[in-house]
Chains A and B, each alone.
Chain A
Amino acid sequence: MEKLDIPQGTLDLMILTILVREPMHGYGISQRLAVLSHDQFQVNPGSLFPSLYRLEQDGRLKAEWRATEKNRRAKYYRLTAAGRRQLEQHRERWSRVSFAVTSVLEGA
């Protein structure tokens, strides 16, 4: 089945959500996104890394180089306090948006 395009503006929200549980590297995030979206979304590095870099610049994420469990060096991204705040805001807004959209679709 064809993969879905990630709706505009939601990639950041999904990245932040994924990082709530634990710090992760880029590949891990892309895999987790695929699993959580039941393989509907697949994000390639050309979209993922610009988002990660922007979030890092804005202070939502903090990055550091660490060893993976397989002893490979990788850059791990961790949610900062600011990132957590933004996640809450965005999540709240997203549930309102999706509720509104669903209501419109079902009411029609």
Chain B
Amino acid sequence: MKVLHRLTAGVRWFARRTRAEADLDEELQTFVEMAAADHVRDGATPAEARRLALLQVGGMAQAKERVRIVRPGAWLDAAGRDLRYGARQVRRDPAFSAIAIATLALGIGGVTAMFSAFDVVLLRPLPYAEADRLVMIWDAMGETDVTTRHNPTPAEWIEWRRLNTVFSDLASSQGADTTLSGDGPPEQVPARKVTWNFWSVLGVQPAAGRVFSEDEDNNGARVVLISHDLWQRRFGGAADIVGRRIAVNDELHEVIGVMPRHFYFMPSRDIDIWMPASFPPWMRRNFTWHDAQIVARIKPGVTLEQARQSMAALSLQVTAKDFRGPHPVIVEPLRDEMAGKTQTALTLLLTASGALLLIACVNLTNLLLSRGSARAREVAVRVALGAGRGRLVLQFLAESLVLAACGTLAGLAIALPAMRFLESLVPEAIGGGRLSLDWRVLGFSAAAAIAAALTFGLAPAWRGSRVAPQDALRGAGRGTTGARSHWFQHSLIVVETALAVVLLTCGGLLLQTFQHLRSTDLGMQRERLLTFETPVFRYKEFDRRVAFINAEVEKVRAIPGVISAGSINIIPFTNFANATFYLLEGQSRDRIAGQVALIRNVSRGYFATVGAQLREGRAFDASDRLSDAPVAIVNEPFANRHFPGRSPLGQRFKFGSLGDKGHWYTIVGVVRQIPESGVLNEARPAVYRVYEQCDQIGDLNAGIVVRTSVDPTSIVPAVRQAIWSLDKDQPLARIRTMEEIVGQQLSTSSQSTALLGAFAVLALLLASLGIYGVLSYAVTQRTSEIGVRMALGATSREIMIAFGRRGLALTLTGLAMGLVLAAIASRLLTTLLYGFQPDYVPTAVAVSLLLVGVAALACFVPARRASRIDPMIALRQQ
């Protein structure tokens, strides 16, 4: 309370301080007049009396000053004065200030932009009640599978719910693409089928309407909840949306609720429809139908570790009778799931931007220190006039604060465009993909600015205020400041050089990794390849589905600018689902646990269209029709797994139904691997077959790939017309070029590389500016010393070497330290390197050469200036 009282008193006083000042003036005047009157009464002349009275007061100005210090607003007043003084200093040396502000703007802008992304992904609370108790649960199916973690099955969900002791509840959600039609153009929207308790597990309520009940879920009620975005986009935000019946997959569903605007959930923020899971009876018993995502809420008082152990045991028990053998589960906090790999990238980049800000501060410290000694005489005068050390330090700091404030404003201008660039780093699972300068981010940059001002201002303030007035005023800068005062500045140079080396090295390693990823053989030619998807559920019979897909391909192929077209049920690189067990001819059934391959159905022209490379055998052709002797093409990992060193052609295998009902597929070809499950994922065994020879179940989606001779995006309208000419209610979904798909998967890598590279280059620039600044200041300061040396016979070459050597010694020390630190830092990078092992040594060598080169230039310029000094002029200068 006392602080508050002081503060309000201070503010109140500040508001009427002119008045207070006048009061004080009058009070002192009265004092003098009364004293003078007494002296007159004692017999002095009026003039004499006034002189005596003034003597008694002992200096009006000092008396006033002493009163001002005790007044409540004193600190405010002083701060105001210091800031004005600081602003004046900043204006007085515009060149210096411009450099300082630009340096700070880079540092603060970078760190602000990085923080905004870091905050959105890792700090901001997720839009669920007590989100830190939410976890995702995955099946750990072992190494032999297409992925180490698998979606659990609805059957497991039922068992876990029944038997677990650590969760208050678990909910399941499954992916489902839906087509909206009837009330507008046909539209394919991402949807999730969720269990009725999904909302209570997350602790969210719809913004309007209600959620569905357990009965509705079990009975397969035709009800949906829609996203705020869909409500606005497709239904114009209609007030009567709740209760309306809309056509979802050609069947009328009642809209029972609208989700809040900021609601989102795994796996992506653009889910538009939530509908009841309504597991069919067979799915409730099937422990092989791995397509559910399970989110669970840990009971209060249970730790994550306890939940993990308990679930591991439970899972082994539940899957004990599974013919593939029991498997454990993976329990991960929801936040980690959502942030994914970006967590490391963002942490690294935020650290890097922090390092850049630190370098900027170090540079400014050096600049201010150099200037501080130039201002020693000014300070000495102030000390002589009675300024205390504390006041001087505060005044120096005020100047730093003014610089930091200007730097922050300029930095925010840099941060805004940088944030647009960073938005693609926000994982798809995290909502609110737009980054904005809100109060959290602004608060952070204000804190960063103050921290920066203290970092770069404190040492110069401390040192600048430590002035022995007589020395400074007497020793008219005879340029003999010894090495003593330089060690600090020199170590700062070493520090910033080391930091720059770390950033450059890490940037180099990331660049190598990125180039490696980009040049990874994707098994196809991804240039000028358009892809999109069309749902085919509306054709009930299998034959009509295949006929429609073939008709699509034919129609698209006829478009001008199209070279060829083909179809695959799942567009490459986008999905690691659709895998199944298989049985090779001659294998016994109990030997195939974990023997899984991805299954892809394609049209006959698919491989030619994407430009896949056939290692041996043949591609599909017109002879592959509906038959009892179907054929398959396998990829290299499949061939190498079972037929190392020999040809698999002619071998037969079965999949799906492994019993007598299943067909034997004969291998007729081997293709180079295409990493179907993602550009960054290792290619797993995969099997391709033609649509005509698929099981009757068929696919719900057909992906179409189109090879064009023109810009692939230019034919999109024609493609749309072509499809609609076949079926006017057929939506086209996810229209993307293959380059886009690949680029998006590499975006974390490319973004982090680009950003770290930018930070590294700026760091190098700042570090060399630092070296340049310190050396060139030393030259200026020691002009007369150089003059003396030259007068005594030193050659200009010797002078140049002396100065250059000093700069290079600093650089090399920093380089050595930096390389050690970088070796440590590169260990931390491994998760961002995607299993790739970049060569540290060549990167380190390249960085060293670059640094020494740039530093040599930074040393050369001032050293040369030193060697050009004319002794006559130098000595006369004083």
Q: Which residues of A contact B (CB under 8 A)?
A: 25-27, 30-31, 42, 44-47, 49-50, 53-54, 57, 70, 72-75
Contacts and interface: CB of A to CB of B under 8 A. Distances in A.
A31 B72 CA distance: 28
Contacts of A49: 24, 27-28, 63, 66-67
Residue among A31, A46, A49 having the largest count of chain B Cβ atoms under 10 Å:
A46
Interface string B1-44: 00000000100000000000001101110110111011000000
Which 5 residue pairs across A and B have the least CB separation, nearest first?
A27-B34, A46-B63, A45-B63, A50-B70, A44-B58
Nearest to B37: A70
Contacts of A31: 38
27 contacts: A26-B30, A26-B31, A27-B35, A30-B31, A44-B56, A45-B28, A45-B31, A45-B57, A45-B58, A45-B63, A46-B57, A47-B66, A49-B63, A49-B66, A49-B67, A53-B67, A53-B71, A54-B70, A57-B70, A57-B71, A57-B72, A72-B30, A72-B33, A73-B26, A74-B34, A75-B27, A75-B30
Contacts of B35: 27
Residue among A45, A57, A73 having the largest count of chain B Cβ atoms under 10 Å:
A45
B24 to A, nearest CB: 8
B717 interface: no
A98 B26 CA distance: 38
Interface of B: 9, 23-24, 26-28, 30-31, 33-35, 37-38, 56-59, 62-63, 66-67, 69-72
B59 A46 contact: yes
A50 B62 CA distance: 11
Nearest to B58: A44
Given A27-B30, A70-B37, 6 more contacts: A45-B58, A46-B57, A46-B63, A49-B66, A50-B66, A75-B27
Residue among A47, A53, A74 having the largest count of chain B Cβ atoms under 10 Å:
A53
A62 B280 CA distance: 86
A interface SS class: helix
Residue among B23, B38, B56, B70 having the largest count of chain A Cβ atoms under 10 Å:
B70
A47 B63 CA distance: 8
B interface SS class: helix
Nearest to A31: B38
A57 B58 contact: no
Nearest to A51: B70
A108 to B, nearest CB: 37
A25 B30 contact: yes
A91 to B, nearest CB: 23
B386 to A, nearest CB: 14
A47 B66 CA distance: 8
B70 to A, nearest CB: 5
A27 B34 CA distance: 7
A70 B40 CA distance: 15
B27 A50 contact: no
Given A44-B56, A57-B72, A75 B23 contact: yes
A80 B214 CA distance: 74
Contacts of A45: 28, 31, 57-58, 63
Contacts of B33: 72
A19 to B, nearest CB: 16
Contacts of B26: 73, 75
A31 B71 CA distance: 24
A53 B70 contact: yes
A13 to B, nearest CB: 17
A18 to B, nearest CB: 16
A102 to B, nearest CB: 32
Residue among A25, A30, A49, A72 having the largest count of chain B Cβ atoms under 10 Å:
A49
A72 B34 CA distance: 9
